[in-house]
Structure 1
Amino acid sequence: MTSIENPDLGPDRSLLLVDDDEPFLRRLEKAMARRGFEVETAGTVAGGRAIATARPPAYAVVDLRLEDGNGLDVVEVLREKRSDARVVVLTGYGAIATAVAAVKHGATDYLSKPADADDIINALLANGGDLPPPPENPMSADRVRWEHIQRVYELCDRNVSETARRLNMHRRTLQRILAKRSPR
Structure 2
Amino acid sequence: MKLLIIDDDEGFRSALARACERRGCTVAVAADRASALGLALEFEPDAAVVDLRLADASGLALLPELLAIRPALRMLMLTGFSSIATAVDAVKRGAVNYLAKPASVEDILSALRVGNAPEETAADRHVDVPALSVDRLAWEHIQRVLLEEDGNVSSTARRLGMHRRTLQRRLSKRPVAN
Fold match (TM-score > 0.5): yes
Structure 1 position 47 matched with structure 2 position 48: no
Q: Which residue of 1 aligns with 2:9?
A: 21
Find the aligned partners of 2:168 and 2:61 in 1 and give their Cα distance: 29
Runs of 5+ in structure 1 lacking a partner?
A: 1-12, 135-140, 145-154, 156-160, 170-177
How far 1:53 sits from its partner (Å)? Answer: 2.7
- Runs of 4+ in structure 1 deviating by more than 4 angstroms, as ranges, are 130-134
**Pairwise CA distance, 1:167:** 7.5
Aligned equivalent of 1:103, options 88, 91, 109: 91
Identity percentage of aligned residues: 39
Equivalent residue number for residue 76 of structure 2: 88
State the Cα deviation string for residues 85-138 of structure 1 (Å, max 9, x = none). Answer: 21100011101111111111100001111111011011001114254989xxxx
- The verdict on how the C-alpha distance between 1:162 and 1:73 changes in structure 2, with shifts beyond 3 A counting, is closer
Structure ID, larger Rg: 1
Unaligned runs of 5+ residues in structure 2 are 116-120, 137-152, 154-162
- Residue 53 (structure 2) aligns with: 65
- CA RMSD in angstroms comes to 3.6
- Would the aligned equivalents of 1:53 and 1:78 in 2 still touch at CA under 8 Å? no
CA distance in 2 between counterparts of 1:34 and 1:133 reads 30
2:25 to 33, 37, 56: 37
Instruction: Return the offset for 1:56.
Output: 2.8
- Distance (Å, rounded) in 1 between the aligned partners of 2:29 and 2:168: 35
Instruction: Tell me how far apart the structure 1 counterparts of residues 61 and 168 of structure 2 sit (CA, whole Å).
Output: 29
Displacement of 1:74 in angstroms is 2.9
CA distance in 2: counterparts of 1:103 and 1:24, whole angstroms? 23
Q: TM-score, normalised by structure 1?
A: 0.65
